[in-house]
């Protein structure tokens, strides 16, 4: 499974199983916010007393790949699949650098 690295910034809600706010800075430097269930973004048992930020992951599918002028690989991913995740503004497609992705991460989902 392909996943985007995100930063888990804070715990937002105790409603089972617990929710956290995550941030993603895309290849264009735009900040995206997500609020998601703890077990979807990490295997850690996070709560309001946990120390933040923490590393997290959001599952996605690869849409396309291209090279930036500086030679870095930029990929377009969609978080609608497999878990229906969207940013707080409703976005599901993001352009990120290849190094922001991991494959077959087993710490979340």
Whether 104 shows a pLDDT value over 70: the answer reads: yes
Residues 38-91 have pLDDT tens digits of: 999 999 999 999 999 999 999 999 999 999 888 899 999 999 999 999 999 999
Q: In whole angstroms, what is the distance from residue 48 CA to residue 27 CA?
A: 30
- The domain locations on the chain are 2-102
Contact 41, 97 (CB under 8 A): no
Supply the pTM of this predicted model: 0.91
Give whole-number Cα distances, 94 to 12, 55, 83, 103, in Å. Answer: 23, 18, 15, 17
pLDDT, averaged across the chain: 94
């Amino acid at each position: 499974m392909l996943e985007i690295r995100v930063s888990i910034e804070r715990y937002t809600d105790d409603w089972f199983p617990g929710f956290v706010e995550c941030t993603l800075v895309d290849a264009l430097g735009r900040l995206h916010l997500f609020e998601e269930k703890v077990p979807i973004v990490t295997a850690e048992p996070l709560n309001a007393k946990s120390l933040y930020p923490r590393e997290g992951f959001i599952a996605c599918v690869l849409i396309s790949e291209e090279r930036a002028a500086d030679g870095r690989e930029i990929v377009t991913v969609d978080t609608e699949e497999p878990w229906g995740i969207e940013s707080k503004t409703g976005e599901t497609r993001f352009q990120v650098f290849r190094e922001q992705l991991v494959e077959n991460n087993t710490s979340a989902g």
